[in-house]
Amino acid sequence: VHITVKITKGRYDFYPDSAFTREYYISNHDQDNPKKVGFALENLQNVTIDGQGSEFVFHGRMIPFAILKGQNITLKNFSVDFELPALRQLNILEVNPGKDELLAEIYPGGNYRIDTEKLVLLGEGYEVTPQRSMAFRPDKRLTYIRRDVSFNPLSVTEASPDVLR
């Protein structure tokens, strides 16, 4: 028997205080345990979740979906986003090799501070100082055969709102 769960189209906001709490050990994932999970799909078989065009918006440090010991699980017709993403994008505006510096615009803007010349990203209920980055091409695809890049600038200053040097 196959079960389809149809969710009425709309925007749905998920918050850590009303989420499932689980201990998961996920490779390449540095969140502390226990984790807050929007949808903890465990021990399920032959299930389809059909969002019918819905937007699922998550708040704080959460994992949107966890599928454990499942078979034939289909997730479709919805988008997943965070109201305030934990990871931000830096669009490089200018590079000055002579001064060993660059100018970059942070996206999405706001929700950061400079603390003793270090960039601190502000989330909903948490802060993070980035230590690694990923390089993307202008067409938004990952650069080919490129590992994560260390993000440890000697100093970060604000050139103007949302523009960092």
On the question of pLDDT at 31 being above 70, the answer is no
Could you count the other beta carbons within 10 Å of the beta carbon of residue 113? Answer: 11
Shared domain check, 156 and 94: yes
Shared domain check, 109 and 76: no
The count of residues in the chain is 165
pTM, 2 dp: 0.80
d(CA 69, CA 71): 7
Could you count the other beta carbons within 10 Å of the beta carbon of residue 56? Answer: 20
Shared domain check, 21 and 69: yes
Query: If residue 95 lies in a helix (H) or strand (E), which one and from where to where?
Result: strand 89-96
Domain boundary, last residue among 26, 61, 82: 82
Task: Give 39-62 pLDDT, tens digit per residue.
Answer: 999 999 999 999 999 999 999 999
Domain boundary, last residue among 46, 66, 82: 82
